Amino acid sequence: MIRKIVQIDEEKCNGCGVCVPACAEGAIKIVNGKAVLAADNLCDGLGACLGDCPQDAIRIIEREADEFDEAAVDEHLKGTGRELAHHTPPPPQTHGHHAGGCPGSRAMAFAPSHPADEHPAGGKIASRLRQWPVQLHLVPTTAPYFQDADLLIAADCVAFAHGDFHREFLEGKALVIGCPKLDDNNAYLQKLTELFRVSSIKSITVLRMEVPCCGGIVMAARQALAASGKNIPFREVTIGIQGDVKG
């Protein structure tokens, strides 16, 4: 049948992955550093992902395509730990004249709000974050803050469990975060592989929680490092559910 469906411009796409979580049906994935349509029947053609692409690489076209199949979407999402919201999505939103697309996903590097050699006793604890964004789906693999960087890959829950996360682990590092239980770990594997290939990462530290499902983020990082062909020092640290460092 002839219907509306998304089309991704491979030349414009830089593999940032912003469109992946923006697609409620999970129809978009990252393959070899580029966003691709996983299957025609997973795309509803409504274009909720359009306004989230910072490269303006996605558009709606009409072509011969399999009919949108909500049952197939439900089955597909079961494998990613996501569920389809059964409602009519709102029309795609644009982001005015903000260069680079959504302001919330625009790559930025900045100095920490407190000098690294100062740790005020009893005062306000300053952030050691040096860049934005931090979510692994959103970070551009070619961002300047990854060049010659010590990379910290942290499971989402770590910063909430470990009270001294900023000073003990984050200080002086570039950061990416993710949840291997709720997100598509294959997408993380592909994104990390591309990141290791194109950036001159000096070292990798992976922070995971002690719960078994959190091992997925370590597995993705190790497999990505092997796939990248790089030899980068690698460290794994486990945090207990009460915040203690288990090694």
Question: 61-86, pLDDT tens digit by residue?
Answer: 999 999 999 888 888 887 665 555 44
d(CA 70, CA 43): 9
Torsion angle, alpha carbons of 202, 107, 167, 242, to 10: -100
Q: What is the pLDDT of residues 144-197, one digit of tens each?
A: 899 999 999 999 999 999 999 999 999 999 999 999 888 888 889 999 999 999
Provide the mean pLDDT of the chain.
Answer: 84
More confident residue, 121 or 245: 245
- Angstrom CA distances, 36 to 46, 52, 54, 81, stand at 16, 15, 16, 20
What percent of the chain clears pLDDT 90, i.e. is strictly above it? 54
- The answer to whether the CB of 147 falls within 8 A of the CB of 176 is no
Q: Which amino acid is at 159?
A: A
CA 224 vs. chain centroid, Å, equals 14
Tell me the C-alpha distance between 49 and 47, whole Å. Answer: 5
Q: Which residue has the higher pLDDT, 79 or 242?
A: 242
Closest by CA position to 59, among listed 43, 78, 38, 82: 43
Instruction: Please give the model's pTM, rounded to 2 decimal places.
Output: 0.59
Most confident of the following: 1-5, 117-121, 231-235: 231-235
**What's the rounded mean pLDDT across residues 45-50?**
79
132-148: average pLDDT: 90
pLDDT, position 100: 42
Is the C-alpha dihedral spanning 182, 183, 188, 191 positive or negative? negative
- Can you say whether the dihedral through the CA atoms of 78, 51, 87, 177 is positive or negative? positive
Tell me what the mean pLDDT of segment 201-207 comes to.
Answer: 97
Question: Percentage of the chain surpassing pLDDT 70?
Answer: 81
